[in-house]
Structure 1
Amino acid sequence: MLPGPFQVARALAATRILDTADLDAALEILHRDPVANAFVATRVEAVGLDPWRLGGEMWGWYDQDGQLESLCYAGANLVLVNAGPEAVRAFAERARRQGRRCSSIVGPAEPTAALWALLERSWGTPREVRAHQPLLSTTEPATEVAPDPLVRRVRKNEIETLMPACVAMFTEEVGISPLAGDGGLLYQARVAELVAGGRSFARFSEDGEVVFKAEIGAVTAGACQIQGVWVAPEHRGRRLSETGMAAVLDFALREVAPVVSLYVNDFNVRARAAYHRVGFREVGAFMSVLF
């Protein structure tokens, strides 16, 4: 059942685009759950709430007492933060009226599912819906798996060697090439940014090819998130993802944040088993809607 005009007006009145004056309040909400909110928090901590620097708008939802309680990042991704049922309805109405501008909706599974149920009729058929993606985290280095001593930070002069592995990982994971559209300029810039920041790790073969790779993507004071885990097809089945992840986990805990997280597709049984052996445990679930 679609909301009536009064419900729509009330929902919209409870939301607005946040600005620099709202930064402290927004950060307080983001820090309530450092693991689940790592993706959005790392952007806000780095550049604030200015839409141009943030790469999108930050919508805020206010309760009946006028307190900021929920956020929604509306950029290349649409991401809910601390959103209860009323906030979800309000953000859905704002998103519906604006029209789809994002390439995906991603976030905590329950509110994201509710948001998508309200947007589906107006936003059309997505390319794929991943309804349950376990969110994993750990605060301890691996004890059952020895870190691969050959995994190290990628150097700036190795970006061209790394790029094919990054493209292969993205295409396998998302289902489309990151080189589509702008020819991969934005994606290549992101890869270069992670390498320059010391957050890209790999094991190289004797002939210089990438055998294993992973990045520490989102980084906040409270938590960081590993992404882009990939093993070259000809090297799979040798548990290199386990030893490689154990090495990256050591780097992350020692040098980046006290909590390390990642999320994984529920159908990827091998990856889930590998992460479990490294020491990651499920602490929640995400959902992704891919367009």
Structure 2
Amino acid sequence: MNALRAVAADARLFDATGKPAVVAYVSESAVNLRSPGNSWVMLCDARLGCGPRTVLVEAHRALARAVSVGDTVTVGKTSVVGDAGEIVTWEHATRWRPSPPLLAGDGLGARLSIAADIVSRHGCFLARPLISGPVLALRDGCLGANPTAIQRAVADLAGLGPGLTPAGDDYLAGYLAALLHLATDSPAALTARTLLRAAVNTIEPGSTHPLSQFLLGEYAAGMIPQFLDECLRALLRPSTTQRLNARVRRVLRHGATSGTEMMLGILDAGADFRIGSHPQRTDTGRSRPETPTRRPGSVEALWHSTERIHP
């Protein structure tokens, strides 16, 4: 068979040794391969953007015809090989590496408000009643630098919700991704990120889908996928409203509720640790950044509601 040619691949895959893998998932836009030790490789439609352990393929629909769930393949330095020969090769593909963290630029608060409005109009909040309690516990734990509270909240969020990447995991991914950047100029955010990384890396196997646990470990290590990284960069640095809208809407299109929960994680981390925000006292005596009043119908009211919200 003629191997499909990749246009980009995670740079680490060029150093991979030949490992057996099982085809765990097949769709029109992605094929997921799982190796022993819960290591994954994702073969994806090039339009999805690159990311950790990802190979981007232009002729993505041919992937679904080349393999079936349960097939065994070999992942080598530059290719995936099946019984009939090479399935995908990335020998001449662009090597993807995560972008370095950015310092937040002037106007971050205004951009967060614009992004929150976009999420409120286009997000899917169906998972909110399920995860809003652990989400608030996580935020309180991070603001209070309380490792026990963070550990408990992460354990409650991991695997919470349906799908390959449950809603609780998606929220954690967004919160972690934002803290990667906010920690460059905020000691409090750095402490929160350190404690959250430790908690994520000790999630019990079986608590969530194996792919989701793997991806959370990648996010904790700073391996942020392209679609999420581009959104964060539009938020952190001066940007046009049009560009910010496009980047946020792209994240929101990710899965059913996944993109919404990732964005809410980003927005919450931004509200909690925004550089230059003015702390206010809470009823627990801790200091936390100011956040907008939760007006009825506002995005804050939506994402902290325990009532079922329809998009």
Greater share of strand: 1
Q: Give the TM-score normalised by the residue count of structure 1.
A: 0.28
